[in-house]
């Protein structure tokens, strides 16, 4: 569940959503369904971090030209930060829907064996690329990677 930092009262603008993990050689076609939840993955499998969120309130659909930045951060338990976290994915603000989805793919072999704490973030950026006080994070949990 996304935890929100919102610079507006929720009646004006609110974001809600979740981040799901999927594994395999390809992205499952039935997203956003998760069956079963993925918390353990082999080093030889791709990992897909799937963001699903929606917006509501009287200001929803009024940020044309803005974009959401979706990022993930891995912390190797017992050993500190992972040297290179994946690049963020940007999702353009859409004035025709209140529902959004983004996927960050972690190719097989990217993560070494170990247990990782995974955090996912979303930040709304204005048309100039500046972050706004509309942000959210999800502490996805611990991911075990084995070889």
pLDDT (tens, 9 = 90+) of the chain, 147 residues, equals: 677 766 666 677 778 888 888 887 777 666 655 556 688 999 999 999 989 888 888 777 778 889 999 999 988 887 666 656 777 788 887 767 788 989 999 999 988 888 999 999 999 899 999 998 888 889 999 999 998
Q: Which domains does the chain have, with CATH numbers?
A: 3-146 (2.60.40.10)
Q: How many CA atoms lie within 13 A of 20 on its CB side?
A: 18
Q: How many CA atoms lie within 13 A of 119 on its CB side?
A: 12
Judged by DSSP in three states, 116 sits in strand
The pLDDT of residue 40 is: 92
The whole-angstrom separation of Cα 121 and Cα 135 is: 7
Residue count of the chain, please give it.
Answer: 147
- In DSSP terms, 23 is beta-bridged to 47
Element (H, E) at 15: strand 14-24
The pLDDT of residue 130 is: 94
DSSP-assigned letters across all residues of 36-58: S---EEETTSEEEEEEEEEEEST
């Amino acid at each position: 569940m996304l935890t929100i930092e919102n610079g507006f009262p929720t009646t004006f603008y609110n974001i809600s959503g979740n981040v799901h993990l999927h594994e395999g050689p390809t992205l499952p076609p039935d997203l956003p369904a998760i069956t079963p939840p993925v918390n353990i993955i082999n080093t030889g499998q791709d990992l897909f971090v799937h963001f699903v969120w929606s917006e509501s309130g009287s200001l929803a659909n009024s940020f044309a030209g803005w974009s959401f930045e979706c990022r993930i951060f891995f912390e190797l338990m017992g050993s500190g930060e992972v040297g290179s976290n994946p690049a963020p994915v940007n999702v353009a603000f859409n004035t025709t829907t209140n529902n959004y989805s983004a996927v960050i793919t972690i190719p097989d072999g990217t993560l070494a064996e170990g247990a990782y704490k995974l955090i996912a973030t979303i930040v709304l950026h204005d048309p100039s690329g500046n972050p706004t006080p509309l942000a959210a994070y999800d502490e996805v949990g611990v991911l075990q990677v084995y070889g």
